[in-house]
Structure 1
Amino acid sequence: MTRDVKSISPEDSVRRAAQMMDELNVGSIPVCDGPKLVGMITDRDITVRSTAAGQSPESTRVGDVMSTDVRTCYATQSTDEVLEQMGDVQIRRVPVVDQGAHSLVGIVSLGDLATQKSNGIDKALLEISTPSEPDRSAAH
């Protein structure tokens, strides 16, 4: 798990989120209201929910485009449990929260788990990498 993870406020601009992603060389940032995790914003959220909709990156707030249905885990969970969760929902990173206040304590990535040489890494990677069905038909 990576500790001391940088987060962004839901009140910050989408432009600030994109700048942070560039500075940190990441594609997603946890969104916290104080210490409490309230969502995640990804480069895809910015592109699909904001830019494609013609929204201004300066005036659009992170809270308007972030993903709120965030899968989390606890530091006490087993590697296999976290890998199974990643595979089930096809994600490569999971915020780690404390069990009481749902405060962000870190983030765990597929790469972090791969270094643990878990038996479930191959299965999780296959499930995460399998293309999912589009959530809507493409307009032509």
Structure 2
Amino acid sequence: MIRYALTCDHDHEFEGWFGSSTDFDDQQGRGLLECPLCASKAVRKQIMAPAVAGTKRTMREELPAKAQAMMMEAAGRIRRHVEENFDDVGDAFASEARAIHEGRAEDRGIYGQATPKEVRDLMEDGVPVAPLPPEPLKKSEVN
């Protein structure tokens, strides 16, 4: 995997992980890359120093505070979009996702709860699922 520091035409900075050095060019050429904050498709690589093996660092130490804040903001936007536009099916998520996948229910966006086993079974059967980003921390929960 290769990590690139990226920026959009609105100067939002973020990073992307790619399987090889040509994957970035391929995805950019097909219009698949976009800024997680503003959805701009004008994404480019930033100049980066090569990664050198050294001491172990936690992800928190490696990511600048600005990047962490941007990631949390983007995750919050995704969560709000899902909650505002998708149907909450509660603990019936697994059965409803399967019914949609098999054409037995209306094709629509849903969210809800599922057990780890239900998620594994859905994934093994080719039903597309993804975890919903966590709720943002309340100011009272932050140090």
Per the shorter chain, which TM-score range? Answer: under 0.3
TM-score (norm 2): 0.23
Greater Cα radius of gyration, structure 1 or 2:
2
TM-score by length of 1: 0.23
Higher relative contact order (CA 8 A, sep 6+): 1
